Structure 1
């Protein structure tokens, strides 16, 4: 349906939002209706047939559901299942907005929005599905950058979040185990932001000593300390106008956190050895491999700094929880490294594929990448088998060995229990079998098994 022929209903308890939507859309659509109170939705829908509804995620309503937006989305879909619904959300509700897609929403927009983007989103929702999207509006397979790949639901949620939050200036905290691709997510956000043409500056702050921290981030003047032989611009100033990515932020000390917080609050840096503050204009991305619960421990990390860096949070799941991605990534790396090492196209036999699927990848995507690269270097064949895939010895015990140890431990427990019960009954097999819940024959089999 064309926008000019569309009836639009906007529901938000913020009158300023409704006014902005009305001014933007009224000249563009057939009819524009706005409503502040979501409890009037059933009544409005009985009299007015919108082609699309803009629905806020949060209301101060009398219905206490934990999230009013999801509740009213479900009610709208009960009354008019065919109507397209676009959720209006703030930075902090991205996870709920993604959940709304599973409840039937066509899309969501993050406020404050860009008018052109909102109009494009409405036109897409009115136009139905496109050739490269599913009915929910999410692409079936997405590639961001060169190696951030995934077909799993978890990765699709991440791709969708990136697409939505990248054009904003929201500060992003990226969580995930080592090797999951936090760096790639940060670069993808920058490349899709309005700052893409400006610098992307990465700093591994967890590796900086107390003395280097200020100099590296904020810069210094010549003579500020013994080795300061010339003026130096810090990473904050280098990233001015662009994106600053602070990796391993969970590893910095409380004193470093205090210095970082001051700069983020004031949007000013002062070089060591200088008294002149320099204004900065950056978009901040941070990453850590610490679990969020550990990061929220005030003895380890300041809560006021967490709020400052965590307008939106993206959690990258470990590869073992992204099973559909393993074989796709393996084939991708096989293609990349076959080309790099001037080899013909590489395939995997069934045993190799099964070995990849069964392994738990403690080193995540990075371990899978190195495993495939090593196999291609060492093999002279065009089809890799299970023996070609040697997982990293520097990671934790492979799952097969872990399972074997568990079995051995259980066997040890069973043997000990049998000996204790037989001793308790002075060697009476009948009484021991009864207490163990076994038949005499089953107990004799176990005695033979454990050589008792």
Structure 2
């Protein structure tokens, strides 16, 4: 059973929570000293904190001090601050200090239960992410705890110790090279070189010599023998980025290298053995290119022994906010700025925007916003996303919609019989009547049938 530390000096509220939250083990504290004692004893993932603690129950100074002590002792703890109806100023100050969320009294246990469940879920995801990082599964550059990114990282963990040729697929800016480096760091080759070459950025007539090297005198200007990228990666890992842009004329030579692990320098006659792990990446649809005969089918199957698709930023949910905060910290250090965070409209705009350029676009927008921001908090306008603001429904509206839909669905399945409707919903008939009145579903009563 999950433990919640309840820091509350009101005995009545303590009893209310004890009997209303049977799914949790509640431990109580009535002041800052006992709260810290309970925190060290139970190490709870989630804490509820009444800001009006003695000896300063009329104000929030003791509660805010307690919040600071909790986060200094257990930074990962999710602290839900409980405040009075008109105490928005102290609630916002608590959030600025690091509180997870706040809830205004009087307490509605159903709403508080949702907040607690969400806090535990976030805590579990963060704990899993920390575990993955400590196991070496996620590099410092792969940030996020969405299911899509965690699935990709678990794949990295499985393929890294092997020598299998990996194809990384993903839109431009999703971090394909970052994933390739993560595979290299977790592989037995991590002490050897990691060499990347972008096949789209080098002219076709130079790409072969860049990859395979050339002998002295092989062509005009070849004044000395020069190693190619493949030889430079000997013993380590070679990333062939944007391999979908590799000229068809060079693909046959690349296929031979992948099959035989031998190369010939341009202008040379000697075969050279090379021990290299190969990772390929592209934003193109290679299967379509094979069908159009612009990419060799045999090479396609050779480089895609295993394929890892990296999700675009728009499919990673709240990872966007997590990545943005990490980038903000990095850019503050890089530019010696003191931007503290993001305004609400900036966070909403970032979550609503589709990010066609993915993480690279997010980096660029944040970099300029950090430099140009006039306040301590980046706004949607600073990001150039003012037109992307969204309206968030309140929890009450979301709950009303969900319960209304559930009641109507059960009513339909019960052929208009309210007794059967209540049974299928797991509630009593009087409770169902109360919900019908609450949500003004009077048409259900008017058409009730008895079976």
Which TM class, normalised by the smaller chain length?
A: 0.5 to 0.7
Please say if 1:240 is aligned against 2:234: yes
**Where does residue 348 of structure 2 map in the other structure?**
354
In structure 1, what is the Cα distance between the partners aligned to 2:385 and 2:161? 39
Q: Quote the offset at 1:146 in angstroms.
A: 3.1
5+ unaligned residues in a row in structure 2: which ranges? 1-122, 390-451
Task: Specify the SS of the correspondent of 1:169.
Answer: coil
- Structure 1 residues 293 and 277: alpha-carbon distance in aligned structure 2, compared to 1, 3 A threshold: closer
Once the two structures are superposed, the pairs formed by residues 63-142 of structure 1 within 5 Å of their partners are 139=129, 142=132
In structure 2, what is the Cα distance between the partners aligned to 1:166 and 1:138? 19
Q: What do the CA deviations read for 1:291-337 (whole angstroms, capped 9, x no partner)?
A: 34424425111111011111111111111111221111111111111
Task: Specify the SS of the correspondent of 2:239.
Answer: strand
In structure 2, what is the Cα distance between the partners aligned to 1:258 and 1:399? 47
**Where does residue 228 of structure 1 map in the other structure?**
222
Task: Specify the SS of the correspondent of 1:220.
Answer: coil
**Where does residue 332 of structure 1 map in the other structure?**
326
Please say if 1:264 is aligned against 2:266: no
In structure 2, what is the Cα distance between the partners aligned to 1:138 and 1:314? 21
- Structure 1 residues 385 and 142: alpha-carbon distance in aligned structure 2, compared to 1, 3 A threshold: farther
Q: Quote the offset at 1:266 in angstroms.
A: 1.7
Q: Quote the offset at 1:274 in angstroms.
A: 1.5
In structure 1, what is the Cα distance between the partners aligned to 2:166 and 2:312? 19
**Where does residue 213 of structure 2 map in the other structure?**
219
In structure 1, what is the Cα distance between the partners aligned to 2:379 and 2:388? 19
Kept in 2: contact 1:140–1:151 (CA 8 A): no
In structure 1, what is the Cα distance between the partners aligned to 2:369 and 2:308? 32
Q: 1:286 aligns with which of 261, 280, 296?
A: 280
**Where does residue 198 of structure 1 map in the other structure?**
192
Please say if 1:344 is aligned against 2:344: no
Task: Specify the SS of the correspondent of 2:311.
Answer: coil
In structure 2, what is the Cα distance between the partners aligned to 1:160 and 1:139? 11
Q: 2:359 aligns with which of 360, 365, 370?
A: 365
Please say if 1:255 is aligned against 2:277: no
**Where does residue 306 of structure 1 map in the other structure?**
300
Q: 1:166 aligns with which of 160, 163, 183?
A: 160
- RMSD over aligned CA atoms reads 2.4
Kept in 1: contact 2:167–2:304 (CA 8 A): yes
In structure 2, what is the Cα distance between the partners aligned to 1:189 and 1:298? 31
In structure 2, what is the Cα distance between the partners aligned to 1:380 and 1:247? 39
- Structure 1 residues 269 and 276: alpha-carbon distance in aligned structure 2, compared to 1, 3 A threshold: same
Please say if 1:378 is aligned against 2:372: yes
Task: Specify the SS of the correspondent of 1:308.
Answer: helix
In structure 1, what is the Cα distance between the partners aligned to 2:333 and 2:299? 45
- Structure 1 residues 299 and 311: alpha-carbon distance in aligned structure 2, compared to 1, 3 A threshold: same
**Equivalences, count:** 263
Q: What do the CA deviations read for 1:197-237 (whole angstroms, capped 9, x no partner)?
A: 00101111122333212211111111001121110011111
In structure 1, what is the Cα distance between the partners aligned to 2:258 and 2:388? 44
In structure 2, what is the Cα distance between the partners aligned to 1:254 and 1:173? 18
In structure 2, what is the Cα distance between the partners aligned to 1:261 and 1:391? 45
Q: Quote the offset at 1:141 in angstroms.
A: 7.2
In structure 2, what is the Cα distance between the partners aligned to 1:384 and 1:234? 45
In structure 1, what is the Cα distance between the partners aligned to 2:380 and 2:257? 52
Q: Quote the offset at 1:138 in angstroms.
A: 6.0
In structure 2, what is the Cα distance between the partners aligned to 1:237 and 1:301? 24
- Structure 1 residues 399 and 354: alpha-carbon distance in aligned structure 2, compared to 1, 3 A threshold: closer
- Structure 1 residues 184 and 343: alpha-carbon distance in aligned structure 2, compared to 1, 3 A threshold: same
5+ unaligned residues in a row in structure 1: which ranges? 1-132, 393-397, 401-452
Q: 1:184 aligns with which of 172, 178, 184?
A: 178
Q: Quote the offset at 1:288 in angstroms.
A: 0.3
In structure 2, what is the Cα distance between the partners aligned to 1:286 and 1:344? 39
Kept in 2: contact 1:371–1:391 (CA 8 A): no
Kept in 1: contact 2:365–2:384 (CA 8 A): yes
**Where does residue 59 of structure 2 map in the other structure?**
none
Q: Quote the offset at 1:140 in angstroms.
A: 6.8
> Given the two structures, how large is their TM-score scaled by the length of structure 1?
0.55
Task: Specify the SS of the correspondent of 1:223.
Answer: coil
